[in-house]
Structure 1
Amino acid sequence: MEQKTKPRIGITIGDIAGIGLEVALKALADNRVLHYCTPIIYGSASVVNRYRKLLALENFSFHQVQAFDQLHPKKVNVLNCLEEELEFTPGVPSPATGALARAALLRAAQDLKEGHIQAVVTAPIDKDNTQGEGFQFPGHTEFFTTYFNAPESLMFLVADGLRVATLTGHIPLKEVASRLTADLLIRKLTILDNSLRKDFSIQKPKIAVLGLNPHAGENGLLGTEETEIVLPVIEQFKNKGNLVFGPFPADGFFGTRSFQKFDATLALYHDQGLIPFKTLAFERGVNFTAGLPIVRTSPDHGTAYDIAGQNKADETSFREALFAAIDILRARAGV
Protein backbone atom coordinates (compact mmCIF):
# COMPACT_ATOMS: atom_id res chain seq x y z
CA MET A 1 0.00 0.00 0.00
CA GLU A 2 1.30 3.44 -0.89
CA GLN A 3 2.17 5.64 2.07
CA LYS A 4 -0.16 8.64 2.55
CA THR A 5 2.77 10.95 3.24
CA LYS A 6 5.86 9.77 1.45
CA PRO A 7 9.19 11.29 2.43
CA ARG A 8 11.36 12.91 -0.20
CA ILE A 9 14.69 11.11 -0.17
CA GLY A 10 17.68 12.77 -1.83
CA ILE A 11 20.23 10.46 -3.44
CA THR A 12 23.64 11.94 -4.18
CA ILE A 13 25.14 10.50 -7.35
CA GLY A 14 28.60 9.86 -5.87
CA ASP A 15 31.61 9.34 -8.10
CA ILE A 16 30.12 8.25 -11.42
CA ALA A 17 33.34 6.42 -12.29
CA GLY A 18 32.45 4.00 -9.50
CA ILE A 19 29.49 1.72 -8.84
CA GLY A 20 27.34 4.16 -6.85
CA LEU A 21 24.96 5.15 -9.62
CA GLU A 22 24.77 1.56 -10.84
CA VAL A 23 23.55 0.23 -7.51
CA ALA A 24 21.20 3.19 -7.05
CA LEU A 25 19.53 2.65 -10.42
CA LYS A 26 19.25 -1.10 -9.89
CA ALA A 27 17.55 -0.51 -6.54
CA LEU A 28 15.26 2.19 -7.92
CA ALA A 29 14.31 0.08 -10.94
CA ASP A 30 11.98 -1.81 -8.61
CA ASN A 31 8.87 0.35 -8.75
CA ARG A 32 7.76 -0.85 -5.31
CA VAL A 33 10.27 1.62 -3.86
CA LEU A 34 8.00 4.42 -5.07
CA HIS A 35 5.27 3.29 -2.69
CA TYR A 36 7.41 4.35 0.27
CA CYS A 37 9.30 7.46 -0.86
CA THR A 38 9.80 10.01 -3.60
CA PRO A 39 13.44 9.60 -4.70
CA ILE A 40 15.46 12.51 -6.09
CA ILE A 41 18.83 11.76 -7.67
CA TYR A 42 21.19 14.72 -7.36
CA GLY A 43 23.57 14.65 -10.28
CA SER A 44 23.10 14.63 -14.04
CA ALA A 45 20.21 13.41 -16.20
CA SER A 46 22.55 12.65 -19.11
CA VAL A 47 24.76 10.48 -16.87
CA VAL A 48 21.71 8.69 -15.46
CA ASN A 49 20.50 8.02 -19.00
CA ARG A 50 23.91 6.71 -20.04
CA TYR A 51 23.98 4.26 -17.11
CA ARG A 52 20.39 3.23 -17.78
CA LYS A 53 21.43 2.14 -21.27
CA LEU A 54 24.71 0.64 -20.08
CA LEU A 55 22.88 -1.54 -17.56
CA ALA A 56 20.06 -2.35 -20.00
CA LEU A 57 17.42 -1.18 -17.51
CA GLU A 58 14.71 -1.08 -20.16
CA ASN A 59 11.84 -0.67 -17.68
CA PHE A 60 13.53 2.13 -15.73
CA SER A 61 12.39 5.68 -16.43
CA PHE A 62 12.99 8.97 -14.66
CA HIS A 63 11.60 12.47 -14.49
CA GLN A 64 13.99 15.38 -14.93
CA VAL A 65 13.25 18.40 -12.72
CA GLN A 66 14.65 21.87 -12.17
CA ALA A 67 12.56 22.81 -9.11
CA PHE A 68 10.69 21.01 -6.34
CA ASP A 69 7.24 21.98 -7.58
CA GLN A 70 8.02 19.81 -10.64
CA LEU A 71 8.59 16.60 -8.67
CA HIS A 72 6.66 13.55 -9.80
CA PRO A 73 5.62 11.53 -6.71
CA LYS A 74 5.36 8.28 -8.66
CA LYS A 75 8.64 8.45 -10.55
CA VAL A 76 12.35 8.66 -9.86
CA ASN A 77 13.29 12.33 -10.18
CA VAL A 78 16.66 13.61 -11.36
CA LEU A 79 17.94 17.07 -10.53
CA ASN A 80 20.89 18.42 -12.54
CA CYS A 81 23.69 19.81 -10.38
CA LEU A 82 26.07 20.72 -13.21
CA GLU A 83 25.04 22.11 -16.57
CA GLU A 84 27.92 20.94 -18.74
CA GLU A 85 28.06 17.51 -20.33
CA LEU A 86 30.53 15.15 -18.65
CA GLU A 87 32.98 12.92 -20.42
CA PHE A 88 33.96 10.00 -18.21
CA THR A 89 34.99 6.37 -18.31
CA PRO A 90 33.63 3.89 -15.74
CA GLY A 91 36.47 2.77 -13.50
CA VAL A 92 38.56 5.88 -14.16
CA PRO A 93 38.03 8.74 -11.67
CA SER A 94 38.83 12.24 -12.89
CA PRO A 95 38.54 15.85 -11.72
CA ALA A 96 35.21 16.00 -13.60
CA THR A 97 33.72 13.01 -11.77
CA GLY A 98 34.93 14.44 -8.46
CA ALA A 99 33.39 17.84 -9.27
CA LEU A 100 29.98 16.30 -10.01
CA ALA A 101 30.09 14.24 -6.80
CA ARG A 102 30.92 17.39 -4.83
CA ALA A 103 28.23 19.52 -6.52
CA ALA A 104 25.57 16.87 -5.90
CA LEU A 105 26.54 16.53 -2.25
CA LEU A 106 26.53 20.27 -1.60
CA ARG A 107 23.16 20.80 -3.30
CA ALA A 108 21.54 17.90 -1.46
CA ALA A 109 22.87 19.14 1.88
CA GLN A 110 21.48 22.59 1.19
CA ASP A 111 18.07 21.20 0.24
CA LEU A 112 18.09 18.99 3.33
CA LYS A 113 18.82 22.00 5.53
CA GLU A 114 16.02 23.98 3.87
CA GLY A 115 13.53 21.13 4.31
CA HIS A 116 12.99 20.33 0.63
CA ILE A 117 13.99 16.72 1.27
CA GLN A 118 13.62 14.72 4.48
CA ALA A 119 16.69 12.47 4.29
CA VAL A 120 19.70 11.77 2.09
CA VAL A 121 21.30 8.55 0.89
CA THR A 122 24.84 9.11 -0.32
CA ALA A 123 26.41 7.02 -3.06
CA PRO A 124 30.13 6.32 -2.55
CA ILE A 125 32.71 8.98 -3.35
CA ASP A 126 36.45 8.92 -3.85
CA LYS A 127 37.36 10.98 -0.79
CA ASP A 128 40.53 12.34 -2.34
CA ASN A 129 39.01 13.03 -5.74
CA THR A 130 36.03 14.88 -4.24
CA GLN A 131 38.09 17.45 -2.35
CA GLY A 132 37.46 21.05 -3.42
CA GLU A 133 35.61 24.23 -2.51
CA GLY A 134 32.86 23.37 -0.05
CA PHE A 135 34.15 19.87 0.62
CA GLN A 136 37.45 19.48 2.42
CA PHE A 137 36.68 16.57 4.73
CA PRO A 138 37.90 12.99 5.27
CA GLY A 139 34.45 11.69 4.36
CA HIS A 140 30.68 12.10 4.37
CA THR A 141 30.39 11.71 8.14
CA GLU A 142 32.64 14.67 8.91
CA PHE A 143 31.03 16.79 6.18
CA PHE A 144 27.46 16.36 7.42
CA THR A 145 28.52 16.84 11.04
CA THR A 146 30.08 20.19 10.19
CA TYR A 147 27.40 21.28 7.71
CA PHE A 148 24.63 20.80 10.25
CA ASN A 149 26.61 22.32 13.13
CA ALA A 150 26.40 19.16 15.22
CA PRO A 151 28.77 19.10 18.19
CA GLU A 152 29.41 15.39 17.60
CA SER A 153 28.31 12.50 15.43
CA LEU A 154 28.84 8.76 15.29
CA MET A 155 29.63 6.37 12.44
CA PHE A 156 27.05 3.66 12.95
CA LEU A 157 26.96 0.51 10.78
CA VAL A 158 23.68 -1.42 10.85
CA ALA A 159 22.37 -4.61 9.26
CA ASP A 160 19.33 -6.36 10.67
CA GLY A 161 20.26 -7.09 14.32
CA LEU A 162 23.97 -6.33 13.88
CA ARG A 163 24.87 -2.74 14.85
CA VAL A 164 28.45 -1.53 15.20
CA ALA A 165 29.51 2.05 15.95
CA THR A 166 33.03 3.45 16.04
CA LEU A 167 34.50 5.71 18.71
CA THR A 168 37.02 7.22 16.30
CA GLY A 169 36.56 7.52 12.56
CA HIS A 170 38.78 8.44 9.66
CA ILE A 171 42.06 9.01 11.50
CA PRO A 172 45.45 7.25 11.29
CA LEU A 173 45.72 4.18 13.49
CA LYS A 174 48.73 5.64 15.33
CA GLU A 175 46.50 8.45 16.65
CA VAL A 176 43.76 6.26 18.12
CA ALA A 177 45.30 5.72 21.56
CA SER A 178 45.95 9.43 22.08
CA ARG A 179 42.38 10.28 21.06
CA LEU A 180 40.88 7.79 23.51
CA THR A 181 39.68 9.81 26.51
CA ALA A 182 36.93 9.34 29.06
CA ASP A 183 35.20 12.47 27.78
CA LEU A 184 35.13 11.21 24.17
CA LEU A 185 33.90 7.79 25.26
CA ILE A 186 31.11 9.35 27.33
CA ARG A 187 30.00 11.54 24.42
CA LYS A 188 29.97 8.72 21.89
CA LEU A 189 28.21 6.27 24.20
CA THR A 190 25.57 8.92 24.88
CA ILE A 191 24.97 9.42 21.15
CA LEU A 192 24.79 5.67 20.62
CA ASP A 193 22.33 5.15 23.47
CA ASN A 194 20.15 8.05 22.30
CA SER A 195 20.17 6.83 18.70
CA LEU A 196 19.14 3.32 19.67
CA ARG A 197 16.19 4.79 21.55
CA LYS A 198 15.16 7.47 19.04
CA ASP A 199 16.15 5.99 15.68
CA PHE A 200 15.62 2.26 16.33
CA SER A 201 12.86 2.39 18.96
CA ILE A 202 14.79 0.30 21.51
CA GLN A 203 13.56 1.42 24.92
CA LYS A 204 16.38 -0.01 27.06
CA PRO A 205 19.45 -0.49 24.84
CA LYS A 206 22.10 -3.02 25.78
CA ILE A 207 25.53 -1.88 24.56
CA ALA A 208 28.89 -3.66 24.41
CA VAL A 209 32.19 -1.76 24.41
CA LEU A 210 35.33 -3.31 22.91
CA GLY A 211 38.83 -3.00 24.32
CA LEU A 212 41.64 -1.16 22.59
CA ASN A 213 44.47 -3.63 23.15
CA PRO A 214 44.83 -7.36 22.45
CA HIS A 215 42.77 -9.37 24.96
CA ALA A 216 41.32 -6.04 26.18
CA GLY A 217 44.63 -5.27 27.85
CA GLU A 218 44.86 -8.48 29.90
CA ASN A 219 44.33 -6.59 33.18
CA GLY A 220 47.02 -4.02 32.31
CA LEU A 221 49.63 -6.46 31.05
CA LEU A 222 49.10 -5.51 27.37
CA GLY A 223 47.97 -1.93 27.88
CA THR A 224 46.26 0.20 30.52
CA GLU A 225 43.64 2.07 28.47
CA GLU A 226 40.96 -0.44 29.42
CA THR A 227 41.51 -0.22 33.19
CA GLU A 228 42.26 3.51 33.29
CA ILE A 229 39.72 4.88 30.79
CA VAL A 230 37.21 2.40 29.40
CA LEU A 231 36.15 0.47 32.50
CA PRO A 232 35.53 3.57 34.70
CA VAL A 233 33.26 5.05 32.00
CA ILE A 234 31.33 1.80 31.71
CA GLU A 235 30.84 1.76 35.48
CA GLN A 236 29.66 5.36 35.34
CA PHE A 237 26.97 4.46 32.80
CA LYS A 238 25.95 1.41 34.79
CA ASN A 239 25.54 3.51 37.91
CA LYS A 240 23.06 5.66 35.99
CA GLY A 241 21.00 2.62 35.04
CA ASN A 242 22.34 2.12 31.52
CA LEU A 243 23.03 -1.36 30.20
CA VAL A 244 26.65 -0.91 29.10
CA PHE A 245 29.14 -3.77 29.34
CA GLY A 246 32.79 -4.50 28.59
CA PRO A 247 35.48 -3.94 27.64
CA PHE A 248 35.50 -7.09 25.53
CA PRO A 249 38.43 -8.47 23.48
CA ALA A 250 37.39 -7.75 19.90
CA ASP A 251 38.51 -11.03 18.35
CA GLY A 252 36.69 -13.32 20.74
CA PHE A 253 33.67 -11.05 20.90
CA PHE A 254 32.97 -11.41 17.20
CA GLY A 255 34.41 -14.91 16.90
CA THR A 256 31.92 -16.28 19.42
CA ARG A 257 29.14 -14.09 18.00
CA SER A 258 28.68 -12.45 21.39
CA PHE A 259 27.43 -9.36 19.56
CA GLN A 260 24.10 -11.16 19.22
CA LYS A 261 23.51 -10.60 22.94
CA PHE A 262 23.60 -6.80 22.52
CA ASP A 263 21.64 -4.14 20.68
CA ALA A 264 24.86 -2.44 19.56
CA THR A 265 28.63 -2.65 19.86
CA LEU A 266 30.99 0.32 20.22
CA ALA A 267 34.35 -0.35 18.56
CA LEU A 268 37.19 1.98 19.51
CA TYR A 269 38.57 2.55 16.03
CA HIS A 270 37.50 2.30 12.39
CA ASP A 271 38.85 -1.08 11.28
CA GLN A 272 38.15 -2.77 14.61
CA GLY A 273 34.46 -2.32 13.89
CA LEU A 274 34.27 -2.28 10.12
CA ILE A 275 36.29 -5.41 9.36
CA PRO A 276 34.00 -7.78 11.32
CA PHE A 277 30.90 -5.85 10.27
CA LYS A 278 31.70 -6.08 6.57
CA THR A 279 32.74 -9.71 6.94
CA LEU A 280 29.38 -10.56 8.45
CA ALA A 281 27.08 -8.17 6.56
CA PHE A 282 28.84 -6.65 3.55
CA GLU A 283 26.03 -7.11 1.04
CA ARG A 284 23.30 -5.70 3.28
CA GLY A 285 25.18 -3.27 5.54
CA VAL A 286 24.22 0.38 5.96
CA ASN A 287 26.33 3.27 7.17
CA PHE A 288 24.21 5.67 9.25
CA THR A 289 25.49 8.92 10.72
CA ALA A 290 23.98 9.04 14.21
CA GLY A 291 23.74 12.15 16.34
CA LEU A 292 22.67 14.56 13.61
CA PRO A 293 19.41 16.53 13.37
CA ILE A 294 18.93 15.03 9.89
CA VAL A 295 18.96 11.49 8.50
CA ARG A 296 21.87 10.38 6.34
CA THR A 297 22.57 6.81 5.29
CA SER A 298 24.76 5.14 2.66
CA PRO A 299 25.70 1.67 1.48
CA ASP A 300 28.63 0.25 3.43
CA HIS A 301 30.90 -0.18 0.40
CA GLY A 302 33.11 2.13 -1.63
CA THR A 303 33.42 3.10 -5.28
CA ALA A 304 34.72 -0.33 -6.43
CA TYR A 305 36.32 1.09 -9.55
CA ASP A 306 37.53 -2.38 -10.55
CA ILE A 307 33.99 -3.53 -11.43
CA ALA A 308 32.43 -0.18 -12.40
CA GLY A 309 30.34 -0.17 -15.55
CA GLN A 310 30.39 -3.98 -15.82
CA ASN A 311 26.92 -4.63 -14.40
CA LYS A 312 28.46 -6.72 -11.60
CA ALA A 313 27.66 -4.58 -8.55
CA ASP A 314 25.12 -5.84 -6.01
CA GLU A 315 22.50 -3.23 -5.11
CA THR A 316 21.36 -4.84 -1.83
CA SER A 317 23.33 -2.51 0.44
CA PHE A 318 22.03 0.57 -1.36
CA ARG A 319 18.45 -0.69 -1.13
CA GLU A 320 18.92 -1.34 2.57
CA ALA A 321 20.33 2.19 3.02
CA LEU A 322 17.28 3.68 1.32
CA PHE A 323 14.82 1.76 3.47
CA ALA A 324 16.88 2.40 6.61
CA ALA A 325 16.50 6.14 6.00
CA ILE A 326 12.73 5.71 5.68
CA ASP A 327 12.54 3.56 8.82
CA ILE A 328 14.59 6.05 10.87
CA LEU A 329 12.38 8.93 9.71
CA ARG A 330 9.33 6.95 10.80
CA ALA A 331 10.91 6.07 14.16
CA ARG A 332 11.74 9.73 14.83
CA ALA A 333 8.17 10.68 13.96
CA GLY A 334 6.82 8.01 16.29
CA VAL A 335 5.01 6.24 13.46
Structure 2
Amino acid sequence: MGAVRFGVDDIVNVRFAISPLWETLASYRAVLDPGLHVIHLPWLRSALTLLRDADLAERTAPLKSLVRTPPPRCPLAEIEEELALLAPAPGLADAVRAWWAAGVQPYWPRIRAVLEADIAYRARQLAEDGIREVFAGLNPALTWSGDTLLSPHLPEPAACLDGAGITLVPTAFAVGCRFLTGDGPGQPALLYPTRAVGTLWERREPADDSLARLLGRSRARLLALTSSPATTTQLAARTGLSPGAVSQHLAVLRAAGLVTSHRYRREVNYVASDLAVALLERGGGPVREGQADREPTGTA
Protein backbone atom coordinates (compact mmCIF):
# COMPACT_ATOMS: atom_id res chain seq x y z
CA MET A 1 0.00 0.00 0.00
CA GLY A 2 1.45 3.36 -1.04
CA ALA A 3 1.03 6.57 0.92
CA VAL A 4 1.53 10.34 0.97
CA ARG A 5 1.92 12.15 4.28
CA PHE A 6 0.41 15.61 4.70
CA GLY A 7 1.37 18.39 7.08
CA VAL A 8 -0.61 21.55 7.86
CA ASP A 9 1.28 23.52 5.19
CA ASP A 10 0.52 20.82 2.63
CA ILE A 11 -3.22 21.07 3.23
CA VAL A 12 -3.24 24.83 2.66
CA ASN A 13 -1.14 24.40 -0.50
CA VAL A 14 -3.52 22.10 -2.36
CA ARG A 15 -4.37 23.44 -5.80
CA PHE A 16 -5.84 22.23 -9.10
CA ALA A 17 -4.46 22.18 -12.62
CA ILE A 18 -5.19 20.87 -16.11
CA SER A 19 -2.39 19.25 -18.10
CA PRO A 20 -2.67 19.09 -21.90
CA LEU A 21 0.68 17.26 -21.93
CA TRP A 22 -0.62 14.48 -19.70
CA GLU A 23 -3.86 14.16 -21.68
CA THR A 24 -1.84 13.88 -24.89
CA LEU A 25 0.39 11.12 -23.54
CA ALA A 26 -2.43 9.28 -21.75
CA SER A 27 -4.64 9.37 -24.83
CA TYR A 28 -1.81 7.87 -26.88
CA ARG A 29 -1.49 5.05 -24.36
CA ALA A 30 -5.25 4.53 -24.57
CA VAL A 31 -4.92 3.90 -28.30
CA LEU A 32 -2.19 1.34 -27.65
CA ASP A 33 -4.44 -0.51 -25.16
CA PRO A 34 -8.02 0.32 -26.20
CA GLY A 35 -9.52 -2.52 -24.17
CA LEU A 36 -8.96 -0.52 -20.98
CA HIS A 37 -10.66 2.57 -22.38
CA VAL A 38 -13.94 1.42 -23.89
CA ILE A 39 -15.64 4.54 -22.53
CA HIS A 40 -13.70 6.44 -25.21
CA LEU A 41 -14.81 4.13 -28.02
CA PRO A 42 -16.28 6.89 -30.24
CA TRP A 43 -12.94 8.73 -30.12
CA LEU A 44 -10.87 5.55 -30.30
CA ARG A 45 -12.38 4.63 -33.66
CA SER A 46 -10.92 7.73 -35.27
CA ALA A 47 -7.70 7.63 -33.21
CA LEU A 48 -6.93 4.07 -34.28
CA THR A 49 -7.44 5.11 -37.87
CA LEU A 50 -4.93 7.91 -37.40
CA LEU A 51 -2.20 5.52 -36.31
CA ARG A 52 -2.70 3.42 -39.41
CA ASP A 53 -0.95 6.25 -41.20
CA ALA A 54 2.67 5.09 -41.43
CA ASP A 55 4.12 8.60 -41.19
CA LEU A 56 2.19 9.53 -38.04
CA ALA A 57 2.90 6.14 -36.47
CA GLU A 58 6.62 6.66 -37.03
CA ARG A 59 6.61 10.24 -35.73
CA THR A 60 4.74 9.28 -32.54
CA ALA A 61 6.63 6.03 -31.84
CA PRO A 62 8.98 7.68 -29.25
CA LEU A 63 5.94 8.14 -26.99
CA LYS A 64 5.89 4.39 -26.36
CA SER A 65 9.09 4.66 -24.31
CA LEU A 66 8.07 7.72 -22.29
CA VAL A 67 7.31 6.41 -18.81
CA ARG A 68 7.77 9.54 -16.68
CA THR A 69 6.10 12.91 -17.13
CA PRO A 70 6.56 16.05 -15.03
CA PRO A 71 3.73 17.39 -12.87
CA PRO A 72 2.03 20.51 -14.24
CA ARG A 73 3.42 23.80 -12.93
CA CYS A 74 0.67 26.11 -14.19
CA PRO A 75 -3.08 25.71 -13.52
CA LEU A 76 -4.05 26.34 -17.14
CA ALA A 77 -0.89 25.65 -19.12
CA GLU A 78 -0.68 25.48 -22.89
CA ILE A 79 0.91 22.42 -24.49
CA GLU A 80 4.11 24.30 -25.44
CA GLU A 81 4.58 25.51 -21.86
CA GLU A 82 4.45 21.94 -20.61
CA LEU A 83 6.72 20.62 -23.33
CA ALA A 84 9.42 22.92 -21.97
CA LEU A 85 9.35 20.87 -18.75
CA LEU A 86 10.19 17.59 -20.46
CA ALA A 87 13.71 16.28 -20.01
CA PRO A 88 15.69 16.75 -23.24
CA ALA A 89 15.19 13.78 -25.54
CA PRO A 90 15.73 13.70 -29.31
CA GLY A 91 12.40 13.80 -31.10
CA LEU A 92 10.27 13.50 -27.97
CA ALA A 93 8.76 16.98 -28.15
CA ASP A 94 8.10 16.50 -31.87
CA ALA A 95 6.38 13.20 -31.13
CA VAL A 96 4.14 14.87 -28.54
CA ARG A 97 3.30 17.70 -30.94
CA ALA A 98 2.44 15.24 -33.69
CA TRP A 99 -0.05 13.29 -31.56
CA TRP A 100 -1.43 16.44 -29.96
CA ALA A 101 -2.19 17.95 -33.38
CA ALA A 102 -3.72 14.78 -34.81
CA GLY A 103 -5.49 13.07 -31.92
CA VAL A 104 -6.11 15.59 -29.16
CA GLN A 105 -6.20 19.22 -30.29
CA PRO A 106 -9.36 18.83 -32.43
CA TYR A 107 -11.18 17.62 -29.30
CA TRP A 108 -9.34 19.70 -26.71
CA PRO A 109 -12.08 22.31 -26.07
CA ARG A 110 -14.49 19.48 -25.24
CA ILE A 111 -11.97 17.58 -23.08
CA ARG A 112 -10.81 20.71 -21.30
CA ALA A 113 -14.37 21.78 -20.55
CA VAL A 114 -15.10 18.45 -18.84
CA LEU A 115 -11.92 18.83 -16.77
CA GLU A 116 -12.80 22.40 -15.85
CA ALA A 117 -16.28 21.32 -14.81
CA ASP A 118 -14.70 18.73 -12.52
CA ILE A 119 -12.48 21.37 -10.91
CA ALA A 120 -15.46 23.68 -10.42
CA TYR A 121 -17.30 20.84 -8.68
CA ARG A 122 -14.32 20.05 -6.42
CA ALA A 123 -13.88 23.71 -5.53
CA ARG A 124 -17.52 23.92 -4.50
CA GLN A 125 -17.14 20.71 -2.50
CA LEU A 126 -14.08 22.14 -0.79
CA ALA A 127 -16.04 25.21 0.29
CA GLU A 128 -18.98 23.17 1.55
CA ASP A 129 -17.42 19.99 2.98
CA GLY A 130 -13.68 20.53 3.42
CA ILE A 131 -10.52 19.06 1.94
CA ARG A 132 -10.98 15.57 3.41
CA GLU A 133 -14.21 15.09 1.48
CA VAL A 134 -12.54 16.37 -1.68
CA PHE A 135 -9.88 13.67 -1.46
CA ALA A 136 -12.45 11.04 -0.50
CA GLY A 137 -14.39 11.78 -3.67
CA LEU A 138 -11.46 11.63 -6.09
CA ASN A 139 -11.28 7.85 -6.33
CA PRO A 140 -12.57 4.88 -4.27
CA ALA A 141 -8.99 3.59 -3.93
CA LEU A 142 -7.97 6.65 -1.87
CA THR A 143 -8.43 6.45 1.92
CA TRP A 144 -7.21 8.46 4.90
CA SER A 145 -5.42 7.28 8.03
CA GLY A 146 -4.58 10.16 10.33
CA ASP A 147 -2.45 12.58 8.30
CA THR A 148 -1.69 10.04 5.58
CA LEU A 149 -3.40 9.41 2.26
CA LEU A 150 -3.34 5.71 1.34
CA SER A 151 -3.78 3.98 -2.01
CA PRO A 152 -2.20 1.23 -4.13
CA HIS A 153 -1.64 3.99 -6.70
CA LEU A 154 0.62 6.04 -4.39
CA PRO A 155 4.40 5.64 -3.97
CA GLU A 156 6.14 3.13 -1.73
CA PRO A 157 7.77 3.97 0.59
CA ALA A 158 5.47 6.79 1.64
CA ALA A 159 6.14 10.22 0.16
CA CYS A 160 6.33 13.26 2.44
CA LEU A 161 5.28 16.56 0.89
CA ASP A 162 7.41 18.67 3.28
CA GLY A 163 5.11 21.66 3.09
CA ALA A 164 5.13 21.94 -0.71
CA GLY A 165 1.52 20.84 -1.01
CA ILE A 166 0.10 18.94 -3.96
CA THR A 167 -1.56 19.66 -7.30
CA LEU A 168 -4.75 17.75 -8.07
CA VAL A 169 -5.14 17.07 -11.78
CA PRO A 170 -8.34 15.63 -13.28
CA THR A 171 -7.77 13.50 -16.36
CA ALA A 172 -10.11 12.04 -18.95
CA PHE A 173 -7.75 9.22 -19.93
CA ALA A 174 -7.09 7.52 -16.60
CA VAL A 175 -8.10 4.16 -15.18
CA GLY A 176 -6.89 5.08 -11.68
CA CYS A 177 -4.85 7.62 -9.78
CA ARG A 178 -1.20 8.41 -10.45
CA PHE A 179 1.39 10.32 -8.41
CA LEU A 180 3.81 12.50 -10.38
CA THR A 181 7.00 14.11 -9.14
CA GLY A 182 9.45 16.33 -10.98
CA ASP A 183 13.12 17.17 -10.73
CA GLY A 184 13.99 19.87 -8.23
CA PRO A 185 11.56 21.94 -6.15
CA GLY A 186 7.90 22.16 -6.98
CA GLN A 187 4.64 20.52 -6.15
CA PRO A 188 4.06 16.86 -6.96
CA ALA A 189 0.74 16.06 -8.59
CA LEU A 190 -2.00 13.53 -8.05
CA LEU A 191 -3.88 12.65 -11.23
CA TYR A 192 -7.37 11.27 -10.80
CA PRO A 193 -10.23 10.25 -13.16
CA THR A 194 -12.48 13.19 -13.93
CA ARG A 195 -16.17 13.19 -13.21
CA ALA A 196 -18.69 12.88 -16.05
CA VAL A 197 -16.19 11.35 -18.46
CA GLY A 198 -19.06 9.29 -19.84
CA THR A 199 -20.60 12.46 -21.30
CA LEU A 200 -17.45 13.35 -23.22
CA TRP A 201 -18.38 11.72 -26.52
CA GLU A 202 -22.16 11.76 -26.40
CA ARG A 203 -24.96 14.15 -27.21
CA ARG A 204 -28.65 13.94 -26.48
CA GLU A 205 -31.46 14.12 -28.97
CA PRO A 206 -35.01 14.78 -27.69
CA ALA A 207 -37.12 11.71 -28.39
CA ASP A 208 -40.25 13.82 -28.76
CA ASP A 209 -41.12 17.47 -29.17
CA SER A 210 -42.13 18.14 -25.54
CA LEU A 211 -39.00 20.20 -24.82
CA ALA A 212 -39.38 22.00 -28.15
CA ARG A 213 -42.93 22.98 -27.21
CA LEU A 214 -41.69 24.19 -23.83
CA LEU A 215 -38.49 25.95 -24.84
CA GLY A 216 -38.72 26.43 -28.57
CA ARG A 217 -37.10 24.17 -31.15
CA SER A 218 -33.72 25.90 -31.27
CA ARG A 219 -33.32 26.17 -27.50
CA ALA A 220 -34.28 22.52 -27.05
CA ARG A 221 -31.72 21.55 -29.68
CA LEU A 222 -29.00 23.67 -28.04
CA LEU A 223 -29.81 22.19 -24.65
CA ALA A 224 -29.42 18.68 -26.08
CA LEU A 225 -26.03 19.58 -27.53
CA THR A 226 -24.75 20.89 -24.19
CA SER A 227 -24.86 17.45 -22.60
CA SER A 228 -21.15 17.69 -23.36
CA PRO A 229 -19.44 21.10 -22.94
CA ALA A 230 -19.35 23.32 -26.02
CA THR A 231 -18.59 26.90 -26.97
CA THR A 232 -20.91 29.32 -28.77
CA THR A 233 -18.90 28.87 -31.97
CA GLN A 234 -19.12 25.08 -31.79
CA LEU A 235 -22.87 25.18 -31.12
CA ALA A 236 -23.40 27.56 -34.03
CA ALA A 237 -21.52 25.20 -36.36
CA ARG A 238 -23.56 22.20 -35.19
CA THR A 239 -26.97 23.85 -35.43
CA GLY A 240 -26.63 26.24 -38.36
CA LEU A 241 -27.70 29.16 -36.16
CA SER A 242 -25.73 32.38 -36.13
CA PRO A 243 -23.35 32.90 -33.16
CA GLY A 244 -25.51 35.85 -32.08
CA ALA A 245 -28.66 33.74 -32.02
CA VAL A 246 -26.87 30.99 -30.09
CA SER A 247 -25.66 33.53 -27.53
CA GLN A 248 -29.20 34.85 -27.04
CA HIS A 249 -30.65 31.39 -26.57
CA LEU A 250 -27.87 30.39 -24.16
CA ALA A 251 -28.50 33.53 -22.10
CA VAL A 252 -32.14 32.49 -21.70
CA LEU A 253 -31.20 28.90 -20.83
CA ARG A 254 -28.63 30.08 -18.31
CA ALA A 255 -31.09 32.47 -16.67
CA ALA A 256 -33.49 29.54 -16.32
CA GLY A 257 -30.81 27.42 -14.63
CA LEU A 258 -30.61 24.95 -17.52
CA VAL A 259 -26.99 25.57 -18.54
CA THR A 260 -23.88 26.68 -16.68
CA SER A 261 -20.80 28.33 -18.12
CA HIS A 262 -17.07 28.02 -17.41
CA ARG A 263 -14.50 30.44 -18.81
CA TYR A 264 -11.05 29.41 -19.99
CA ARG A 265 -8.92 32.32 -21.20
CA ARG A 266 -11.00 33.78 -24.05
CA GLU A 267 -13.43 30.87 -24.41
CA VAL A 268 -16.64 30.17 -22.51
CA ASN A 269 -17.93 26.58 -22.47
CA TYR A 270 -21.56 25.81 -21.77
CA VAL A 271 -22.82 22.57 -20.25
CA ALA A 272 -26.26 21.34 -19.23
CA SER A 273 -27.10 21.69 -15.53
CA ASP A 274 -28.38 18.82 -13.40
CA LEU A 275 -31.92 20.10 -13.93
CA ALA A 276 -31.44 20.09 -17.69
CA VAL A 277 -29.95 16.59 -17.62
CA ALA A 278 -33.06 15.39 -15.79
CA LEU A 279 -35.25 16.98 -18.45
CA LEU A 280 -33.20 15.43 -21.23
CA GLU A 281 -33.35 12.02 -19.54
CA ARG A 282 -37.14 12.22 -19.63
CA GLY A 283 -37.19 13.38 -23.22
CA GLY A 284 -34.53 11.25 -24.88
CA GLY A 285 -31.34 9.21 -24.66
CA PRO A 286 -27.71 9.76 -25.47
CA VAL A 287 -26.50 9.93 -29.03
CA ARG A 288 -22.90 8.92 -29.58
CA GLU A 289 -20.54 11.16 -31.50
CA GLY A 290 -20.52 10.22 -35.15
CA GLN A 291 -24.19 9.31 -35.44
CA ALA A 292 -26.25 11.23 -37.94
CA ASP A 293 -27.33 14.71 -36.94
CA ARG A 294 -30.60 16.35 -37.83
CA GLU A 295 -29.68 19.99 -37.51
CA PRO A 296 -32.44 22.61 -37.59
CA THR A 297 -31.70 25.66 -39.68
CA GLY A 298 -34.23 28.06 -38.23
CA THR A 299 -34.49 29.84 -34.89
CA ALA A 300 -37.05 29.45 -32.16
Q: TM-score range by the shorter chain?
A: under 0.3
TM-score (norm 1): 0.23
TM-score (norm 2): 0.24
Name the structure where helix makes up a greater proportion of residues. Answer: 2
